[in-house]
Amino acid sequence: MNTSEEIKKRYNRISGIYEMMDRMIKEKWRVDLLSQVSGKVLEVGIGTGVNLQYYPNQITSLTGIDFSRGMLEHAKDKVISGDFEFPIELREADIQDLPFPDNSFDSIVSTCVFCSVPDPIKGLMEIRRVCKPTGQIYMLEHMRSDKELIGLVMDVLNPLTVKLWGANINRDTIGNIERADLKIDKHILLMSSIFRELTLSPDKKIIETP
């Protein structure tokens, strides 16, 4: 298994051309996903900040984290040159060990992140921890296709993609979500089920204070 440091170096190396690779995510998918977010928002794996332009102006604030300093430099350029109506904070951090207290955010966003997290279940448990009990987690993730032939091709190609930039294209992300005790509220299959739009709940007990 690749370590965070190894994957970080790969993403630092490709940060200048990452957006060319990121075009596999259709603009409509981003718009549909991000139009749902509200309140205090955390985007994990913000990368070069491609999603920034699609956030609704009515959100309270946006915190974006990434473990690649090279990727964050490109995101910072977008924040400086953009005209946003909400405050934005960018931080270098690892999704497997988020530097935030429990129950910090109303909405958490990830787009094509969990293919690269060394321990995806730990990362999912971390976003569950920092999500408010009434909050939502919005994901646009690629994973192993449910189509048998496509899934087998992805299995064959996976060692190459891992070696090039640390991305696993055949992960069982749905299974990992369930193992992290997250509840799937919405599940939309995209592009032969290679991509999924997901809305999750942290499924925490809400304790009312007198």
- Express each pLDDT in 89-122 by its tens digit: 999 999 999 999 999 999 999 999 998 899 999 9
The fold for domain 4-201 equals: Rossmann fold (3.40.50)
Give pTM, 2 decimals: 0.86
What Cα–Cα distance (Å) separates residue 141 from each residue in 29, 77, 87, 96, 127? 11, 25, 26, 17, 15
The pLDDT tens digits for 182-193 are 999 999 999 888
Instruction: Return the domain boundaries, the chain.
Output: 4-201
